Amino acid sequence: MKIAFLENRYKTEFWLALARELKDRFGYETSWIVQNNCYAPRCGDKVVRLGYPPKSELAGCSEPRFCVGKEKLNYVARTDRAVRFFGVSTDHYPYYWDAIGRALSELDPDLIVGEATLFHEVMTSLVAEEFGIPYLSPSTPGYPPGRFCIYKHHRKSPVLNRAQDYSETDVTSLIESVASYHSAPVYMRNVKNVLSSRPVSDPQKLRKLQGFFTGERFNTPSPTTKLRLHMRLKRALQEWKRNQTELSQIPSKKSLLFPMQLQPESNIDVWASEYNDQCAFIEELSSVAPRNWQVLVKANPKAKYELLGPLLDRVIKLPNVHLLPLDVGIGEVLSKVHQVITITGTLAVECVFRDIPVLQVGHGPLDFLERHQAMRSNRDSLESMVNHACNEGEFLASGEEKRQLSDFLFRTSFPGLVGDRYLSEDVMSPKNLTKVARALVEAHGYDIQVSEERV
């Protein structure tokens, strides 16, 4: 069995340790597809470097030699953080589409493992579909803690876990811990050495800069671009503070809460790319909200590039929209709202378990609750969904639906942690690597059955 891993900068170290585990314990043959040469693994595996396109390949690019429709390249552009936030063009797309096709032809893997975050990962997923090769993307969900999901290709479609590796007590405990605010997603906890807090002297940052200066300009922003984005974010946060409304000053009207999601992040940029312009989403939400309702907007606790662009200039002019204080806790806010609308946020699950009306407009766990899915899928616009949720059919889960949703979260996840050592040192432990490797082997052996059931 041959597995090809896809380089992903910081995460490549974890992929490399996982590849060793798959070789040593399960006898798999592993290989690599590398976009950023500075993160090419040093091992005995076969490594295909995609390279960087010369200027002659960028000027007036022709169509890729491998068959691809323009809609697929447009989809990659819509999900590409470098295009959306760093000012990078798409001139390199045909080069990389062809390079990825040649790499897959050369390696001929039975399975590809990688993220679905950077442009070359999303593109590889699309090319793999053309070649009929499964692409699995292990990722950390919001819940349950200590588990990870395996998604198929670039979609938020979790592979079913057929092993009964949890109990009914686990199912009920998850509901209770989330409902009582005693459980939070690992990426929202105050963990030291998270990516956003790496010191400037971190050798990984120097490695990323080395990649930029040796030709990787398609995922990596220039130092000046990075500094400019940082200064724009700083000004945006100051502008937010100047225009925020204290909770005590919010008018006593029915309130619809929209919690913004961190960007760039695959959860919204890739898995919900049709909604990844959150500024436009807030504007539309403002225009379709019932006349007697107001929209409260909460910034993400780790706010980043979603606050850039024309967001504040346009949103602060909307009479029925209020920006909440940056330091207000979600618990304080939820007690004052009548309806929550999220795109793909983990808050959707939390609202279900906390008896708070919620509408999830992107794909996520609530897809698998039949009543919620019916409320969403039977309406063809945000306006119809919002008006139905606010005026006719707010979604509050029954006790049995909560249990079924919690059970579903366990059935579509596996024990273990995925990530890099900056999130948690535990991801690199031998015990964890064995868990993750075994889950991938099992998932591939399941013939990649993706859950499409409803509960």
Number of folded domains in the chain? 2
Please check whether residue 263 lies inside any domain of the structure: yes
Are 431 and 356 in the same domain?
no
Distance CA 289, CA 258 (A): 12
- The pLDDT value recorded for residue 445 is 78
Task: Please report the beta strands in 314-371, taking only residues with DSSP state E, as ranges in sequence order.
Answer: 321-323, 339-342, 358-360
- The pLDDT value recorded for residue 378 is 57
Predicted confidence band of residue 189 (pLDDT cuts 50, 70, 90): low
Are 365 and 290 in the same domain?
yes
**pLDDT digits 0-9 by tens, 247-264:** 999 998 999 999 999 999
Please check whether residue 196 lies inside any domain of the structure: no
Q: Which residues contact 320 (CB under 8 A, 6 or more apart)?
A: 286, 289, 293, 294, 295
The yes-or-no verdict on residue 3 having pLDDT over 70 is yes
The yes-or-no verdict on residue 451 having pLDDT over 50 is no
Are 114 and 24 in the same domain?
yes
DSSP state letter for 273: G
Task: Please report the beta strands in 299-404, taking only residues with DSSP state E, as ranges in sequence order.
Answer: 321-323, 339-342, 358-360
Are 70 and 181 in the same domain?
yes
Cα→Cα distances 163→115, 137, 142, 412, 446, Å = 24, 19, 21, 10, 11
> How many other CB atoms are there within 10 angstroms of residue 81's CB atom?
21
**pLDDT digits 0-9 by tens, 260-301:** 999 999 999 999 999 999 989 999 999 999 999 999 999 999
Distance CA 315, CA 439 (A): 45
The yes-or-no verdict on residue 196 having pLDDT over 60 is no
Which range, of 75-84, 143-152, 439-448, averages the lowest pLDDT?
A: 439-448
Please check whether residue 181 lies inside any domain of the structure: yes
Are 24 and 169 in the same domain?
yes
- The pLDDT value recorded for residue 384 is 85
Please check whether residue 47 lies inside any domain of the structure: yes
Are 149 and 250 in the same domain?
no
Provide the token pair at 253: 């009207």
pTM: 0.91
Three-class DSSP labels, 265-303 = CHHHHCCCHHHCCHHHHHHHHHHHCCCCEEEEEECCCCC
**pLDDT digits 0-9 by tens, 382-414:** 888 888 888 766 788 999 999 999 999 999 999
Q: Across-strand partners of 150?
A: 138
- The pLDDT value recorded for residue 188 is 65
Are 255 and 361 in the same domain?
yes
Is residue 435 within 8 Å of residue 29, measured between CB atoms?
A: no
Distance CA 372, CA 169 (A): 25
Element (H, E) at 315: helix 311-315
DSSP state letter for 29: E
- The pLDDT value recorded for residue 182 is 85
Distance CA 101, CA 132 (A): 12
The yes-or-no verdict on residue 207 having pLDDT over 80 is yes
Please check whether residue 119 lies inside any domain of the structure: yes
- Residues above pLDDT 70, as percent of the chain: 90
Distance CA 186, CA 143 (A): 9
Distance CA 347, CA 143 (A): 10
Q: Is the peptide bond before 203 cis (omega within 30 degrees of 0)?
A: no
Residues 133-158 have a mean pLDDT of 95
Is the model more confident about 220 or about 379? Answer: 220
What φ, ψ does residue 259 adopt, rounded to 5°?
Answer: -85, 120
Please check whether residue 327 lies inside any domain of the structure: yes
By residue count, the chain amounts to: 455
Are 56 and 13 in the same domain?
yes
CATH of the domain at 354: 3.40.50
Residues 343-352 have a mean pLDDT of 95
Please check whether residue 398 lies inside any domain of the structure: yes
- Residue 156: give the domain boundaries: 2-185+413-445
Are 180 and 257 in the same domain?
no
Are 346 and 372 in the same domain?
yes
Are 258 and 299 in the same domain?
yes
- The pLDDT value recorded for residue 454 is 37
- The pLDDT value recorded for residue 446 is 62
Predicted confidence band of residue 26 (pLDDT cuts 50, 70, 90): very high
Distance CA 126, CA 78 (A): 14
- The pLDDT value recorded for residue 191 is 37
Please check whether residue 87 lies inside any domain of the structure: yes
Query: On the CB side of 403, how many CA atoms lie within 13 Å of its CA?
Result: 7
Residues 38-46 have a mean pLDDT of 92
Among left, alpha and beta (phi > 0; psi -120 to 50; other), residue 100 is alpha
DSSP-based three-state secondary structure for 48? strand
Query: On the CB side of 48, how many CA atoms lie within 13 Å of its CA?
Result: 20
Are 148 and 28 in the same domain?
yes
Cα→Cα distances 99→62, 129, 202, 245, 280, Å = 14, 15, 31, 51, 35
- The pLDDT value recorded for residue 171 is 98
- The pLDDT value recorded for residue 60 is 54
Task: Count Cβ neighbours within 10 Å for each residue of 231-250 and write b for 16 or more, e otherwise.
Answer: eebeebeebbeeebbeeeeb
Q: How far apart are the first and last CA of the chain?
A: 35
- The pLDDT value recorded for residue 44 is 84
State the chain's maximal CA–CA distance in angstroms.
66
Distance CA 205, CA 419 (A): 17
